[in-house]
Amino acid sequence: MVTLSLGTTTFADQQRQKQQETREYGRKAIPLFHTGDDDDDDDNNDNDDDDDSVIHKDKKLKTTNDGNSIKFLSTVKPTDKNRDEKEIIKLENMPAEVDISRYNNSTTNKSLKPIEPKNPILILKNKLNNKYLLPDITREDTLNARMCLKYYGIRQFLDKYLPDELNSLYLYFLIKLLGFELKDTILLKAISMNVQQNSTEINVSDLSSTQIDDPLDKRQTVQLIKDLQKAFNKILATRIRLLSFNRIEDLVTKLHSASNIIVLTGAGVSTSLGIPDFRSSEGFYSQIKYLGLDDPQEVFSYDHFMRDPSIFYSIAKMVLPPENMYSPLHSFIKMLHDKGKLLRNYTQNIDNLESYAGIPPERLIQCHGSFATASCVTCHFQLPGEKIFKKIRNVEVPLCPYCYDRRKEYFPTNEPNATNISNVPRSYGVIKPDITFFGEALPSKFHKSIRHDLTQCDLLICIGTSLKVAPVSEIVNMLPAHVPQVLINRDPVKHTDFDLSLLGYCDDIASAITQKCGWDIPHEKWEKELKTKKFEYVGNERGVYTFEHK
């Protein structure tokens, strides 16, 4: 069995040693856990006239001298007639270097450097079937590669990770290493035809490091370059993880010192009450597949509601919140407020359970509205949301008393889904809960508060959310980069690099953290069970812990 990993395969090291002898400059072997004690100078100290491209046969991957662009070139000098300008692709606003001091409160020092790869990537080829064997990738590899990209910039990143000779599969591997997947099924099929899927029965003697032919055509290679640039853009637009904040103890310390905590919550904070989340395999969207919608999110589309409100009201009872109930997690947030630490709770939930837990209105931003009130879509008459709960439970469409007579003229049968000869929409005179549908603007209170809060926040805790819906999901990218960011969720959120991810049931994790802080959650379940419960967790990798639920 042959297992390849980044910089650890003995055979690969032997082959790389041969390549190293012909390189223009030496590359120091950096320990796997680099502490910054080695004085490793920048590799890119060559003259501007030197060709610093990485080359394979008739292809080049080249960074410009400012490090801000990548070019795909042909070794045959193109004429004005045959030059394909589409092959030269510019990266937008890509810094050649990233100032690491922006991402840490302390002065920059070498100990903050990410771990450099021991050697460039090496993709081996099986001489028996001419298929390529890609190295294994761990999440730790991905996190470190992203940090290297942001720390060193594009030019040095490519120089550190790519060998002198390469083919297009190296571009594909870089995309995967950075944590992205291709969406082009045709391109994926072409790659899979040339990649060894099973390495369990490969002899080392059958492997070769010589890359002679490129398995992909020119068009596919250009597409890979475009996809790689998109990955670069995405990563360079986000913050660098704080290297000094990746343990549970770091969170406990910060909770004691913080005074302006933003807590961003999603559906996961209410699932312990029997309220389904939206996007999990057992969530709300999975439960309404029977409606036959192209996208289950259409049930919350404002345009769809205005055309036919009966679709929403056919399932509204499934998201109708319980009254006077709240979870230990809601009480955890209330505890932060009681201790003078809560700056704001931005909730994506529409169940209004935060108010039942006692979180004051001035500390609560219901980003997507709530069932607390409801309004007529025609005359905007507003009433308490509980006034239409009975209609919702009976799967009936609530109608406005002030628009009722006129609606009766348009719809004589008094059926919400009845047709009429006029152009009046079916939603005329219908009362809609004051929740923000897709296509509606967020409440003005959100925009007013977020501008202020971003400058005051000293800790962000995202709880029970997959961060899929903008603009709330963008809060993590709007905060100053030195502010610690923590995720408490059942599943990891892969498109955002949190400094600390605590995975498991939200109530359990909040209780475990509260125990470590020596505090008490103002919830009856705390005194009965959670205060003395033993919580077990394991550290999967840097900054990621999984809590076991018993």
Q: Please count the other Cβ atoms lying within 10 Å of the Cβ belonging to residue 295.
A: 9
To the question of whether residue 457 is assigned a binding role by annotation, the answer is no
Segment (H or E) for 346? strand 342-347
Three-state DSSP class for residue 352 = coil
Residue among 414, 441, 304, 431 at smallest CA distance from 380:
431
Residue among 217, 215, 228, 124 at smallest CA distance from 172:
228
Strands of 95-172, DSSP E: 124-126, 131-133
Q: In what order do the strands lie in the sheet with 431-435?
A: 382-384, 369-376, 431-435
- Stated length of the chain: 550
* Cβ–Cβ < 8 Å for 270, 319: no
* Cβ–Cβ < 8 Å for 481, 216: no
Three-state DSSP class for residue 264 = strand
Q: Which one of 330, 337, 368, 523 is the catalytic residue?
A: 368
To the question of whether residue 148 is assigned a binding role by annotation, the answer is no
Residues whose CB is less than 8 angstroms from the CB of residue 242 and which lie 6 or more positions away in sequence, other chains included: 103, 104, 482, 484, 499
Q: Rounded to a whole number, what is the largest CA-CA distance in the chain? A: 89
Burial grade of 128 (CB within 10 A; 0-12, 13-18, 19 or more) = exposed
CA–CA separation, 277 vs 330, rounded Å? 16
Question: Crossing angle of helices 328-338/506-517, nearest 10°?
Answer: 30
Structure tokens at 171: 């571009």
What letter would DSSP give residue 136? B
Amino acid residing at 353: L
To the question of whether residue 403 is assigned a binding role by annotation, the answer is yes
Q: For this structure, is 56 an active site residue? A: no
Segment (H or E) for 531? none
Residue among 188, 190, 183, 185 at smallest CA distance from 230:
183
Pairing of strands 69-73, 88-90: antiparallel
Burial code (b: 16+ CB inside 10 Å, e: under 16) for 296-328 equals: bbbbbbbebbbebbbbbbebbeebbbeeeebbb
Segment (H or E) for 72? strand 69-73
CA–CA separation, 481 vs 185, rounded Å? 36
To the question of whether residue 462 is assigned a binding role by annotation, the answer is no
Residues whose CB is less than 8 angstroms from the CB of residue 128 and which lie 6 or more positions away in sequence, other chains included: 206
CA–CA separation, 240 vs 231, rounded Å? 15
Partners of 487 in beta bridges: 462, 501
Three-state DSSP class for residue 512 = helix
Q: Please count the other Cβ atoms lying within 10 Å of the Cβ belonging to residue 181.
A: 8
Residues whose CB is less than 8 angstroms from the CB of residue 491 and which lie 6 or more positions away in sequence, other chains included: 280, 466, 503
Q: What residues are designated binding site?
A: 376, 379, 400, 403
Q: What residues are designated binding site for Zn(2+)?
A: 376, 379, 400, 403
Q: Which residues are catalytic?
A: 368
